Amino acid sequence: MTNYEQLHIPGSIQPHGVLLALSPHLEILQVSNNTQEYLGKTPEDLLGQPLSTLLNASQLESIQKFLQQQEGMVNTFKLSILTHEGEKYFDGSVNFTEQIWILELEPIDSLTQMSFLSFQALTSGAISKMQKTSKLIDFVQLVASEVRKITEFDRVMVYQFDSSGAGIVIAEDKREDLSPLLGLRYPATDIPTEARALYTRSLLRFIPSFHAQPVTLIPLNNPQTQQPLDLSGAALRSVHPCCVEYHQNMGVSALLVVPIIKERTLWGLISCHHYNVKYLTLEVRRICEFLGQLVSSELVHKVSQSEFDYEVKLKSLQTEFIESISQADNFREALISPEPRLLDLVNAKGSAVCLDNDITLVGTTPSIEEVRTLIEWADTQISDNLFSTNSLPQLFPEALTFKETASGLLLLRISKVRRYYILWFRPEVIQTVNWAGNPNEAVKVDARGSVTLSPRKSFEKWQETVRLTSLPWQSCELDSALALRNAIVGIVISKADELAKINHELEQSNRELASFAYAASHDLKEPLRGIYNYSNVLLEDYAHVLDKDGIDYLQTVVFLSQRMESLINALLRLSLLGQGELQRQAIDLNALLEEAIAIFYASYPQANIEIRTAKDLPTIECDPVLVGEVLNNLIINAFKYNNQADKWIEIGCLEEENQDSEIGTPNTRNMVDTVAPSSSESPITDRPSPMFYIRDNGIGIPEHHYQTIFRLFKRLHSQEKYGGGTGAGLAIAKKIVERHGGHIWVESAVGVGSTFYLTFG
C-alpha cells in the first residue's frame, strides 16, 4: 500500500498558519508560500536571510535561549511581528528535525496569555471527575463529554483499537440531532500504519477545514539535505488527499484527534468531528493534549473489576501449577493432571502436550493426527516461543476440518532443540459485527496487482457475520503461558544440574564397583584354583581309598569349581568393559562377520547349520575386537538354542526406509534400556545408524523374558540343556553395544525363532 508512504513529507502545509525552516544558526532555508499574507514579506524576501529579518533583537535573544534549553522538543510561545500593515500577533511553536528548526506561526488577536486560573477552570473539573471514576466504560464516556465541553465540537468519540488494528467506538458525546456511531467498528485500513506511527509519538492532529487548499513550501526540497522536509512533528502539516476525501464523505469539515497511549502502545484515539469549519486556538489544543496525556496515564489504572479479578485468579493458578510441576517426578503427568488446571491457566477448552512424538490430549481438541499436522506446520512457520491467533483457519487452511474445536490457537514452544510444545485450543464463536460501512471498500487492487488504500464512501451501518474465529486471547493469558514456559525452563535447568550431580556420583560409584569386581574376581580365582587342583590330586592319588560316594563328591567339587571360575571370568570380563577407551576405526562389517563365522566353525567344527549372510554390509566406526565378540556370541547362541533338524542363521542389515515396517515403531520395540555413551565415545553424525539383525529358526524366547535374557547370569534353561553356559554372554553383548551408543533388542516367537537387532550409534 504505497499511497501513504510519504505522509510525513507532503511538501505543503495547511493555510491557517505560516512555516519557516531554519538552520541551526537560524538562517531561513524554506518558507511556506503564504508569508506575504501573514508576515508582509514574499518568500524571496526571506529565503537565505537570518531570522532577525522578522524579529527584533529582544525576541531573537529570547528564542535562541529557549531553543538551546529545549532542543528536540515541541514548544509554544507568543510573539509579535511588525509588518507594513502594523503589528501582528502569533502563537508560535518550534520543533527540531534533521538538523533543522521548524518554526510555525498561527495568527491570534492579542498576546494575552491564558492565565493559570483560566487553565485550571477548564481542566480541574474534568481531572477531578476522571480520578473519581473507577470503571473503564464510565471513564471513557466522561472523557468524551469533557473534551466536547472544552472544544465545542459537534461530536467527540473515544475509539479503541483491537489486536487486528480495527477500532470500535466505545464512548461518544454528540449533538442530539446526529446519528450515533457508538458501538460501530472501523477497519484497520481507515487509519494507515504511517498515521498510527505519528500518533504513537503522542502527536495531536488538528485540521480546521478539509476544504482549505494546501500551501506549498519554497523551495520544495531543503537546501541542506536536498530532500523533502520531514514535517512529522509539524502541527501545520498538510492533509493527505485520501484523508480529505474520507472525511468529506462522512460530512466532516473539521477534525481534532488526540492519541491515547497505554504502555507505549497506541491504545486508541479521542476523535473530534465538526460539520463546519472550526478553529481552535493553540492554547485550547494544548489543553486537549494535556487531557490526552492524563487519560493515557489514568488508563493503566482503569481496569474493570472483573478483569482485575481474572488476572488475580490466573496468577493464583499459575503459582499453584508451577509449584506442583517443580516437585513432580513425572513432568508430563504433572502438566495434565488434574485435567482442568492446564486449561484454566489460559481459559482454553482443550490442550495438547507434545513431547517429541508423544502427544497427550486434554479436553476438547482436534485428533492426535490433526495435532501432529499442526505441529509440523508450526515447526516451519512459527519461530517465536509464544504464538497466538483467534483465527487459525485463515493462517492454516487445514484447520478448517477442526474449526469447531480449534479456531483459536495459543502455542507455547518449550524447546527449540526438541519438539516440545504445549498447545491450547478455543472453539469457533460465530459473531455479528457492526461496521461503519463496508470494511473491504477501502482496499483496491489494480490490474498490476498493486494494493492501494482509497477513501470509503459509505458509512452506513454494515453487518458482518464473522466465522472461523474464536474469542481472542487476552494479554494476561499470554503472560500466564509465558510464565509457565519460563518456569518449565527453570525447572529443567535445575533438574539437569541435579542429574549432572547424580551422574557424576554414579560414574564414581560405577568406577569403584568395577574396580571392586575386578579385584574380587581376580583375588577369588587363586583360592578357587587351589580347590580345583587339590580336588584333582585327591581323585588321582587317593581314589582307590574312597568309596563311590566320595569320588562323586570330589568330581562335583571339580565341576563346581570349574563353573565358578567361568562365572568369575565373565564377571571380570564385564568389569573390564567399563574401563578404557574404545578403539574405534572404520571397519568393513563383511570382513568382520567372515572372521566371526570362522571363529565359530573353529569352536564347533561339527556344527550342522546354514549361515546366510548379506554381501553388502556397510562400513561402520567401531571397536572391531568388541563388535566381533558380540557377533560371535549371537551366532553361538543362535546355534546352541536350536533343536531343528535343518538349522539356519540369517545375518543382514536393514535399509533405513524398511526399518519401521520390519520391526515396528520405536515405541513398540522390545528395546533394552540403555545408558547414553559419553561424548568422547559417540561421535555425532547426521546419518541414520545402520540396523543389523541376526535371525534364526531356533526355539524362540517367550515375550516376558525379552528383558531377562540380557541380565547377568540369567539363564532360561537348566545348566544341562543347550550346551550349558554362564548366562553372561548377552549381558556382555549389551554392555559392548551400549559403549558404542547403540541399542540391542529382540523379537521372537516360541517354536519359530528369534531375531536380534543391533545398532552401534
CA distances from 637 to 262, 592, 629, 699, 756 (A): 76, 18, 12, 11, 11
- The 10s digit of each residue's pLDDT in 98-124 is 889 999 999 998 877 665 556 666 677
Q: What is the pLDDT of residue 134?
A: 75
- The 10s digit of each residue's pLDDT in 491-508 is 765 565 566 677 666 677
Q: 12-108 has which CATH code?
A: 3.30.450.20
CA distances from 738 to 177, 184, 420, 659, 709 (A): 86, 68, 26, 20, 16
Q: CA 745 to CA 662: how far, in whole Å?
A: 14
Q: What is the pLDDT of residue 120?
A: 65
Contacts of 706 (CB under 8 A, 6+ apart): 670, 745, 746, 748
Question: Do 346-473 and 12-108 have the same topology in CATH?
Answer: yes
Residue recorded with cell 531561513: 28
Query: Per-residue pLDDT for 360 more than 60?
Result: yes
Coil vs helix vs strand at 536: helix
Report helix angle 136-151 to 116-132, nearest 10. Answer: 160
Residue 353 DSSP class: E
- The 10s digit of each residue's pLDDT in 58-96 is 888 877 877 776 554 556 788 888 888 888 999 988 888
Query: Per-residue pLDDT for 519 more than 80?
Result: no
- Find out whether 365 and 406 touch, Cβ atoms under 8 Å: yes
Q: What is the pLDDT of residue 57?
A: 86
Q: Which of 305, 303, 317, 387 is nearest to 347 (CA)?
A: 317
Domain ranges across the chain: 12-108, 116-212+224-299, 346-473, 501-574, 581-655+685-759
- The 10s digit of each residue's pLDDT in 34-50 is 999 999 999 999 999 99
Q: What is the pLDDT of residue 496?
A: 58
Q: What CATH architecture is 116-212+224-299? A: 2-Layer Sandwich (3.30)
- Find out whether 258 and 288 touch, Cβ atoms under 8 Å: yes
Mean pLDDT across the stretch 742-758?
A: 90
Q: CA 119 to CA 741: how far, in whole Å?
A: 80
Residue 685 DSSP class: -
Contacts of 449 (CB under 8 A, 6+ apart): none
**Of 305-314, 476-485, 662-671, which one has max mean pLDDT?**
476-485
Q: What is the pLDDT of residue 751?
A: 87
Contacts of 653 (CB under 8 A, 6+ apart): 589, 614, 616, 617, 618, 690, 691, 692, 693
More confident residue, 584 or 46: 46
Residue 708 DSSP class: G
Q: What is the pLDDT of residue 739?
A: 82
Percent of the chain at pLDDT above 70?
Answer: 77
Q: What is the pLDDT of residue 443?
A: 47
Q: What is the pLDDT of residue 650?
A: 92
Q: What is the pLDDT of residue 303?
A: 60
- Find out whether 354 and 366 touch, Cβ atoms under 8 Å: no
Reported as a pLDDT band with limits 50, 70 and 90, residue 445 is: very low
Give the pTM.
0.55
Residue recorded with cell 477448552: 349
Q: What is the pLDDT of residue 572?
A: 62
Query: Per-residue pLDDT for 261 more than 80?
Result: yes
Q: In this structure, what is the dihedral angle of CA atoms 668, 672, 673, 674, given to the nearest 10 degrees? A: -120
Q: What is the pLDDT of residue 537?
A: 78
Query: Per-residue pLDDT for 473 more than 80?
Result: yes
Output the DSSP codes for 568-617: HHHHHHHHHHTSS----EEEEHHHHHHHHHHHHHHH-TT--EEEEE-S-P
* Helix locations, 328-462, DSSP H: 331-336, 339-344, 368-381, 392-395, 403-406
CA distances from 325 to 322, 328, 414, 471, 498 (A): 5, 5, 14, 28, 16
Contacts of 491 (CB under 8 A, 6+ apart): 325, 326, 331
More confident residue, 309 or 353: 353
- The 10s digit of each residue's pLDDT in 602-641 is 778 888 889 998 888 888 888 888 888 888 889 888 888 8
Query: Per-residue pLDDT for 405 more than 80?
Result: yes
- The 10s digit of each residue's pLDDT in 697-711 is 988 888 887 887 887
Output the DSSP codes for 38-97: HHS--HHHHTTSBGGGTS-HHHHHHHHHHHHHSTTS-EEEEEEEEETTEEEEEEEEEEEE
Q: Which of 736, 734, 608 is nearest to 671 (CA)?
A: 734
Q: CA 510 to CA 578: how far, in whole Å?
A: 8
Q: Is the link from the previous residue into 241 a cis peptide, with omega within 30 of 0?
A: no
Reported as a pLDDT band with limits 50, 70 and 90, residue 2 is: very low
Residue 403 phi/psi, 5-degree rounding, is -60, -30
Query: Per-residue pLDDT for 686 more than 60?
Result: no
Contacts of 247 (CB under 8 A, 6+ apart): 207, 210, 253, 255, 273
- The 10s digit of each residue's pLDDT in 525-535 is 667 777 778 78
Residue 5 phi/psi, 5-degree rounding, is -65, -25
Q: In this structure, what is the dihedral angle of CA atoms 592, 594, 596, 602, given to the nearest 10 degrees? A: -150
Coil vs helix vs strand at 340: helix
Q: What is the pLDDT of residue 31?
A: 97
**What is the rounded average pLDDT for all residues in the chain?**
80
To 5 degrees, how large is the angle CA 418–CA 421–CA 425? 165
Topology of domain 581-655+685-759, per CATH? Answer: Heat Shock Protein 90 (3.30.565)
Query: Per-residue pLDDT for 681 more than 50?
Result: no
Topology of domain 346-473, per CATH? Answer: Beta-Lactamase (3.30.450)
Max CA distance (Å), the chain:
153
Q: What CATH architecture is 501-574? A: Orthogonal Bundle (1.10)
Reported as a pLDDT band with limits 50, 70 and 90, residue 439 is: low
Q: CA 96 to CA 21: how far, in whole Å?
A: 10
- The 10s digit of each residue's pLDDT in 121-163 is 667 777 788 878 877 888 899 999 999 999 999 999 999 998 7
More confident residue, 573 or 29: 29
Question: Quick one: 218 exposed, middle or buried, by C-beta within 10 A (0-12, 13-18, 19+)?
Answer: middle
Q: Which of 144, 28, 1 is nearest to 453 (CA)?
A: 1
Residue recorded with cell 535343518: 646
AA letter at 690:
P
Mean pLDDT across the stretch 162-168?
A: 85
Q: What is the pLDDT of residue 23?
A: 93
Mean pLDDT across the stretch 558-564?
A: 70
- The 10s digit of each residue's pLDDT in 648-677 is 999 998 865 555 545 543 333 444 333 333
Q: What is the pLDDT of residue 453?
A: 47
Q: What is the pLDDT of residue 176?
A: 92
Q: CA 390 to CA 397: how far, in whole Å?
A: 14
Query: Per-residue pLDDT for 437 more than 60?
Result: no
Q: What is the pLDDT of residue 547?
A: 85
Q: CA 469 to CA 399: how far, in whole Å?
A: 11
Q: What is the pLDDT of residue 601?
A: 83
Least confident of 56-65, 166-175, 277-286, 331-340: 331-340
Residue recorded with cell 549361515: 611
Reported as a pLDDT band with limits 50, 70 and 90, residue 19 is: very high
Q: What is the pLDDT of residue 596?
A: 85
